[in-house]
Amino acid sequence: MDRRTFTKLIGLLALPSKKSLGEVLRNPKIVVVGAGIIGTMIAYELVKKGAKVVLIDKEIPASGASGNSFSWINATYPKKPFSYNLLSQMGIEAYKNLETEFNLDIKWSGSLEWFEEIDQQENLFTEIKAIKKYPTYTPVSLISSLEAEYLEPKVYFGDDNTIVHSESDGAIDTIQAIQIIHNEFERLGGESIFSCEFLKLNEKNGRLKSIDTTKGKIEVDHAVFACGIDTDKSLDIDTSSTPTPGIILESKPVENRFNKIIVGPGVHIHQQNDGAIILGEQDGAPINHYDRLKERPDKFPNKEFEELHTERIINRAKNFTTGLEDIVIEKISIGWRPLPKDRIPIIGRLNKIDGVYVSMMHSGISLAAIVSKLVCEEILENKSIPLLDDFRPSRFA
């Protein structure tokens, strides 16, 4: 999708909705639950448009999945149906627009992806061919392993292999982005309350009036839940599969070794603009670890476990790269990824209480910049945007 197409789509979204939901509230009081990248961006967009906004989190900003993520912005495989892919395409352009507001650290390098197993490779190619039939799609091509190694000399892509080259992908320093946007949120008059856990919704005649938290009651007109893996428990709904853990390693900065996002077998790699190398293991923990992980820790219980997993991931990555021999790992964390049951984003109002809105998805990093704008528009203009119809929480009722 080019910039002109994106601008045209945003213009269409700004038109009065045919699905008006009633009178628009003036200067509404809104609480956003969850200070990850989605919640922080929603809070910022709302306060920028004049709402009175309180942002709360049971810990601190970026303490959940956002701060322990591979931080990959993409709009290709496996995002389907078309509405999901289109939303992701718009997410890329929304980030590029956001870069005109903030000095965000985003490396728009594109990605190279492949699998070792033949059946997985064939499935990947099938998905890419399907994407190319969409009315719009981000640039993606199939290139030879020789061409891929020219782009990424320190990576071995296999002999006579075919690699998926997604040209528009980017990687963001998510923690830095949350800090920058949160600072602007507060500068514009937004209020933050951290180490503040949501407890209960309070309604009257089916309309939200306040929420109870561990820091007291907050009077509100709307509550937006962008709290990831805590969404179902907070709202007593059933929309998610069991969250899965992803291990993220971050090295001390080194000279440039990787140009693109490397989506390799079992391990993903990218190098930030500051030189830090990020490695993400996507397979999750073995089944015999599930009991130990039932409390969903974001760190390992001791240094020995941490070092074992670090060594295992780096050794696995060394199967296809020569760029990791002397790196020093500075940070290792476990990110618990929210997973809607059908793997499609959940965005919209809860029918059971007027004033309650949900924004939860696995692709939170990719979608935050566009979803925050659309959520803000739906709430402040009291409308229903047709683009989001496929993502409503009512599909789980």
CATH code, domain with 362: 3.50.50.60
User: Is residue 251 within 8 Å of residue 329, measured between CB atoms?
Assistant: yes
Q: Clarify whether residues 63 and 136 are in a common domain.
A: no
Can you give the pTM of this predicted structure? 0.93
Compute the Cα dihedral for 164, 168, 173, 177 and give only its sign: negative
Question: Does residue 187 lie in a domain region?
Answer: yes
Q: Clarify whether residues 186 and 233 are in a common domain.
A: yes
% of the chain at pLDDT higher than 70: 90
Average pLDDT over residues 156-185: 96
Average pLDDT over residues 119-126: 94
Nearest in space to 89 (alpha carbons), one of 176, 9, 11, 163? 9
Compute the Cα dihedral for 11, 12, 14, 16 and give only its sign: positive
Average pLDDT over residues 169-185: 97
Determine the pLDDT at residue 289.
60
Select from 317, 339, 361 the last residue of a domain. Answer: 339
To the nearest 10 degrees (0 to 180), the angle between helices 82-98 and 364-380 is 90
* Strand intervals (E) in 235-311: 240-251, 261-263, 267-271, 277-281
Question: Does residue 301 lie in a domain region?
Answer: yes
pLDDT band at 77 (very low <50, low <70, confident <90, very high): confident
Determine the pLDDT at residue 283.
65
CA distance 239 to 395: 9
Q: Clarify whether residues 62 and 117 are in a common domain.
A: no
Average pLDDT over residues 313-323: 95
Select from 297, 314, 339 the last residue of a domain. Answer: 339
CATH code of the domain containing 135: 3.30.9.10
Q: Clarify whether residues 249 and 334 are in a common domain.
A: yes
pLDDT band at 299 (very low <50, low <70, confident <90, very high): confident
Average pLDDT, the chain: 91
Question: Does residue 89 lie in a domain region?
Answer: no
Q: Clarify whether residues 281 and 162 are in a common domain.
A: yes
Q: Looking at the predicted structure, is the pLDDT value of residue 25 above 90?
A: no
* Structural domain span for residue 293: 109-169+242-339
Q: Looking at the predicted structure, is the pLDDT value of residue 15 above 80?
A: no
Nearest in space to 343 (alpha carbons), one of 85, 51, 59, 29? 85
Determine the pLDDT at residue 9.
58
Q: Clarify whether residues 269 and 325 are in a common domain.
A: yes
Q: Clarify whether residues 113 and 36 are in a common domain.
A: no
Question: Does residue 203 lie in a domain region?
Answer: yes
Q: Looking at the predicted structure, is the pLDDT value of residue 41 above 80?
A: yes
Question: Does residue 291 lie in a domain region?
Answer: yes
Q: Clarify whether residues 232 and 189 are in a common domain.
A: yes
> Using omega within 30 degrees of 0 as the cis cutoff, is the peptide bond preceding 78 cis?
yes
Q: Looking at the predicted structure, is the pLDDT value of residue 123 above 50?
A: yes
pLDDT band at 4 (very low <50, low <70, confident <90, very high): low
Q: Clarify whether residues 67 and 208 are in a common domain.
A: yes
Q: Clarify whether residues 329 and 252 are in a common domain.
A: yes
Question: Does residue 308 lie in a domain region?
Answer: yes
pLDDT band at 380 (very low <50, low <70, confident <90, very high): very high
Average pLDDT over residues 139-166: 96
Q: Clarify whether residues 134 and 187 are in a common domain.
A: no
CA distance 220 to 231: 19
Question: What's phi and psi for 38, nearest 5 deg?
Answer: -70, -50
Determine the pLDDT at residue 20.
43
Select from 339, 355, 371 the last residue of a domain. Answer: 339
Determine the pLDDT at residue 288.
56
Q: Looking at the predicted structure, is the pLDDT value of residue 176 above 90?
A: yes
Long-range interactions of 96-101: CB distance < 8 A, separation 24+? 96/3, 97/369, 98/369
Q: Looking at the predicted structure, is the pLDDT value of residue 87 above 80?
A: yes
Q: Clarify whether residues 38 and 121 are in a common domain.
A: no
Give the CA distances from residue 180 to residues 40, 44, 108, 175, 186, in Å, rounded to whole numbers and listed in that order: 10, 11, 19, 9, 10
Question: Does residue 97 lie in a domain region?
Answer: no
Q: Residue 92: enclosing H or E segment and its boundaries?
A: helix 82-98
Question: Does residue 391 lie in a domain region?
Answer: yes
Range of weakest confidence among 42-56, 148-162, 270-284, 286-300: 286-300
| Number of domains, the chain | 2
